[in-house]
Structure 1
Amino acid sequence: MARTHWLFGDQLGPAFLAAGDGGPPGDARVLMIESRGVFRRRRFHRAKAHLILSAMRHRAVELGDRVTYVRADTYREGLRQAVGDGPVTVHHPTSRAALGLVRSLDQVTVLPPRGFLVRQEDFAAWADGQRSLRMEAFYRRVRRNHDLLMEGGEPVGGTWNLDHENREPPPRGARTIGAPTPYRPREDSIDEEVREDLDRWEHDGDVSFVGRDGPRLFPADRREALTALRRFLHHRLAGFGAYEDAVLADDDTLSHSLLSSSLNLGLLDPAECVEGAEAVWRAGGAPLNSVEGFVRQVAGWREYVWQLYWYFGEEYRTSNALGHTAELPDWWNELDADAVSARCLATALRQVRDTGWTHHIPRLMVLGSHALQRGWDPVAVTDWFHRCFVDGYDWVMLPNVVGMSQYADGGRMTTKPYTSGGAYIDRMSDFCRACPHRPDRRVGTDACPFTAGYWNFLHRHRGRLVHNARMSRAVHGLDRLKDLSELLEQERQRGGGPP
């Protein structure tokens, strides 16, 4: 019997059908299953649902007669309709739930994962010999093993990490850094069909979404993804490094690549992204700090997060070292940016509401920091980030939120909680100048919710954080606050209301 190869909705690039090295049989037919139940079980961002369905349907059109495209309520139902009990291969899925499903099916043979630079067994062999799993050591290993930005066994420029050059605040008084515009695709008849289906599902009460949809902002096929990659490499990469951590209220994208959704859908391969960036640098088209910063994001952080997702095990999901249990408030779940007066938080929520995306600093130092300071349940915060971002998948958000953003793992992934008062936001953005809250005020009607929240967070977790070498000095600063009692009462009364 001819074998069928199953493509999940985040396995849409050519790498997932390439023969050799654990690939599917060359004569295999292709199966794609569009499961409405996935969207029924969780309240995803409308733009995310649109992108995934558009990308799947575009891939099906590309594959033509080779593909069987099934629309079913569940994957099991779709598999039964398409092949019965016939043999199926599938590349290692990207979530534990999907992996558990395919492994439970006797007819399915699971092939090695694709779309990443490092094999899981190689990472495990390295990690088992480490006292701590810090990204920098892993990143250097990837650079060496894949000969990325290397000369004679040493990093080009004589240093591995140019992060110190990539922390410039935005130009004072500027509303934009003046970067060339990013690539934006044009919608087509497939997008029109997807939008009509989503409208019908919502109208019938079958599915509920959050956020706004349209126009589609991110690539849905390989051609669009390659166009977006070329646009970034040749027009935007040069300006990426210096302002990598900067934020501007009127410039949502700055010089960021906007390639994460294409990578996570499998439309782009990480090797072609980082090798393309290195080629631009070697041709003199971009400075080293910009190229190294981008390579570190893709070959360093993205690979590291993928590997930790599997290495830490399923129990990592419920890590809650700080004991945070507060529920996410309705204004947050509904992305109600208009309910929020703090300009930084309102802007970040608006970006998520309208596009399903914002870059890594608003995610970490505004959205994630606020959730951490409020003591929200990290499981719920992880689920929110997963559902509300177009590039969010279980493997992406679990380490990023539990470990990096919420410090719920107690330091297994990072050396300190990533949160701050308003001074950091003021230094790295233009938010505070037109905000009713003052970044230097802890108490009062004009107190900055991040400044007050930061000190309240340190007070709640003083016993743990005073022993953290990177936090002890800040914790001891609590002793100098004459208004600490007033601040704590102010934060108690604020509760889960919008700042």
Structure 2
Amino acid sequence: MSTLRLILGDQLNPAHSWFSAPDAHAVYVLMEIRQETDYVLHHAQKIIAIFAAMRDFARQLGEAGHRVHYLAIDDPANHQSLPANLDALIAQYTASTFEYQAPDEWRLDRQLADYAAQLAIPARRVDSEHFHTRRDEAAQLFAGRKQWLMEHFYRQMRMRHGVLMAGPGKPLGGQWNFDHDNRKPWPGLPREPTDWRGEHDHSALWQSIEKAGVASFGEPNAKRFRWPLNRDEALQQLDDFIAEALPHFGDFQDALTIRAWRLFHSLLSFALNTKMLNPREVVARAAEAYESGDVPLAAAEGFIRQILGWREYVRGVYWANMPGYETQNYFDHRQPLPAWFWTGNTRMRCLAQAIGQSLEHAYAHHIQRLMVIGNFALLAGLNPAAVHGWYLGVYIDAFEWVELPNTVGMSQFSDGGQLATKPYVSSAAYIDRMSDYCKGCHYDKKARLGERACPFNALYWDFFARNGERLAGNPRLGMVYRQLAKMRPTDLQAAQDKASEIRKHLDLL
């Protein structure tokens, strides 16, 4: 008789209480399955990274004395779905109990709850022991409020956990965030740090993935793979980020440039979201770097806000709104994704850079995701469900609990403003101010009309003109609508005609 314990691909936490000591009656199960590779089209590096990390985690458990059953993607005994594999393994090990850690995605949570309910043996869900908050804490905090402001949530988290506080209710530096200090374009100095991540050759793994018929997109880069394999590598990357990049992260966290794809970003989100790293230790390390005088307060606070604030907040939004959040479409946008979302082959230099980088590295930082790709998607009226599917597949750190609110709520405003206080859109002016993308572009950043006019410009004014009934009352958009009211009707009509023409020929941009 034994207990079968399931470990999902984003539950690679060696510090979980399950592993405090070997249990002769416990069998730990990890499985590479088509169910998880095929529900959305994934970037090749995302599949490789998760499978490679799962295999290394299974190795570590075995070396620590735990019993492990690992199902590889090409194992003849692999039924390629969670229920079928679990049925077979429960029978194989004559399991008397089934246990699993709480999944972070609603889809898997529902599937495993339904599966456990029909089992003839006892089943138990345990906590993943990772997050600062419970699933329902944000919903409780915002009970009765129409809009969920992240800033309110973030302040509560800072006070509760005593992070960057000068005393009860008093943030260090006299303010809760330093966003206004963290919006500088990058002039080229200080230089981008050398990529501190190690390399792995996952060619054999990639061949087995391809041979199994798993579809993917993007560059696999299997021979020189740079994403962490385990907790030790993730901790080293955390150390390197704190020393090499965090001092400058605050200043340039919103900067965009063709000269550096990483700049001063941590690239720790994959390790965090697969639970190789615990958010508490990452937050603590950043706070300690400030306290020791190695990092400015604005840099430490900006980084900590992404983890203690935003990451926990969007998780709360996700669990409060599922199922159904993924189908929100406030503006009734229906436009399919242009073909260049899968190739990066567009004459718009900003999008070619942001999408090309995503395809090459399975990564783009938050401003590339929000104010370049997401900005265009919203202005062009792309179907938010299709945008969500693309974001979920292309980024190595994208798991639905964190990606969906960021895409549907923050980027596409598809929830009508529950999460974001306004649509995050801009004309070419913002992109030019924060980047060097517009230099040498086929399109003219200043032109609204004409064959070479930047598509962002006409799409921007058309978006607000089309959605006046929904947005004109938003106090954060008053200036936009005042400018729109001053525009000559003929000029506005010309911009809207141009926008309509752009939407008809998105593939040709």
The TM-score with structure 2 as length reference comes to 0.91
* C-alpha contact 1:421 1:454 (8 A) present in aligned 2: yes
Corresponding residue to 2:162 among 147, 151, 155: 147
| 2:373 is equivalent to residue 367 of structure 1 | yes
Partner Cα distance (1:459, 1:401) in 2:
23
| Length, aligned pairs only | 485
* C-alpha contact 1:165 1:242 (8 A) present in aligned 2: yes
Partner Cα distance (1:127, 1:26) in 2:
45
Q: How much does 1:219 deviate?
A: 0.9
Deviations 1:367-389 (A, max 9, x none): 00111011111111111100111
Corresponding residue to 2:358 among 352, 357, 380: 352
Does the C-alpha gap of structure 1 residues 489 and 142 become closer, same or farther in structure 2, counting only changes over 3 Å?
Answer: same
Partner Cα distance (1:210, 1:375) in 2:
24
Does the C-alpha gap of structure 1 residues 25 and 165 become closer, same or farther in structure 2, counting only changes over 3 Å?
Answer: farther
| 2:245 is equivalent to residue 244 of structure 1 | no
1:2 is aligned with what amino acid?
S
1:82 is aligned with what amino acid?
L
- Secondary structure at the aligned position of 1:240 is classed as helix
Partner Cα distance (1:162, 1:399) in 2:
23
Corresponding residue to 2:493 among 485, 491, 496: 485
Partner Cα distance (2:357, 2:209) in 1:
21
Stretches of structure 1 lacking an aligned partner (at least 5 in a row): none
In the alignment, what sits opposite 1:14? 14
Does the C-alpha gap of structure 1 residues 26 and 293 become closer, same or farther in structure 2, counting only changes over 3 Å?
Answer: farther
Stretches of structure 2 lacking an aligned partner (at least 5 in a row): 73-77
* C-alpha contact 2:349 2:438 (8 A) present in aligned 1: yes
In the alignment, what sits opposite 1:197? 208
1:199-278 aligned at under 5 Å gives the runs 199-201=210-212, 206-214=213-221, 215-278=224-287
More divergent stretch after superposition (146-155 vs 256-265)? 146-155
Partner Cα distance (1:278, 1:366) in 2:
31
In the alignment, what sits opposite 1:388? 394
Partner Cα distance (1:167, 1:438) in 2:
24
In the alignment, what sits opposite 1:91? 101
In the alignment, what sits opposite 1:157? 173
| 2:429 is equivalent to residue 423 of structure 1 | yes
Q: How much does 1:24 deviate?
A: 11
1:134 is aligned with what amino acid?
L
More divergent stretch after superposition (442-451 vs 283-292)? 442-451
Does the C-alpha gap of structure 1 residues 147 and 349 become closer, same or farther in structure 2, counting only changes over 3 Å?
Answer: same
Q: CA RMSD in A?
A: 1.9
Partner Cα distance (1:225, 1:164) in 2:
30
Partner Cα distance (1:276, 1:104) in 2:
40
Deviations 1:336-393 (A, max 9, x none): 222x111101101110111111100010000001110111111111111001111111
In the alignment, what sits opposite 2:75? none
Corresponding residue to 1:187 among 178, 181, 200: 200
Q: How much does 1:26 deviate?
A: 9.1
* C-alpha contact 1:95 1:395 (8 A) present in aligned 2: yes
Partner Cα distance (2:244, 2:352) in 1:
30
Corresponding residue to 1:120 among 106, 131, 135: 135
Task: Give the % identical residues.
Answer: 35
- Secondary structure at the aligned position of 1:88 is classed as strand
Q: How much does 1:82 deviate?
A: 2.1
- Secondary structure at the aligned position of 2:423 is classed as coil
1:286-435 aligned at under 5 Å gives the runs 286-332=295-341, 334=342, 336-338=343-345, 340-435=346-441
Partner Cα distance (2:69, 2:214) in 1:
25
Q: How much does 1:498 deviate?
A: 4.0
Deviations 1:465-497 (A, max 9, x none): 111111132123223334222222222222233
Does the C-alpha gap of structure 1 residues 24 and 139 become closer, same or farther in structure 2, counting only changes over 3 Å?
Answer: farther
The TM-score with structure 1 as length reference comes to 0.93
Q: How much does 1:434 deviate?
A: 1.6
* C-alpha contact 1:217 1:355 (8 A) present in aligned 2: no
Partner Cα distance (2:42, 2:205) in 1:
15
| 2:469 is equivalent to residue 463 of structure 1 | yes
Q: How much does 1:8 deviate?
A: 0.3
- Secondary structure at the aligned position of 1:99 is classed as helix
* C-alpha contact 2:270 2:397 (8 A) present in aligned 1: yes
Deviations 1:6-59 (A, max 9, x none): 110000022434579xx9989633111111232234321111111111111111
Corresponding residue to 1:44 among 20, 42, 45: 42
1:185 is aligned with what amino acid?
G
* C-alpha contact 2:135 2:315 (8 A) present in aligned 1: no
Deviations 1:73-92 (A, max 9, x none): 11112212322272221111
* C-alpha contact 1:278 1:291 (8 A) present in aligned 2: yes
2:198 is aligned with what amino acid?
P
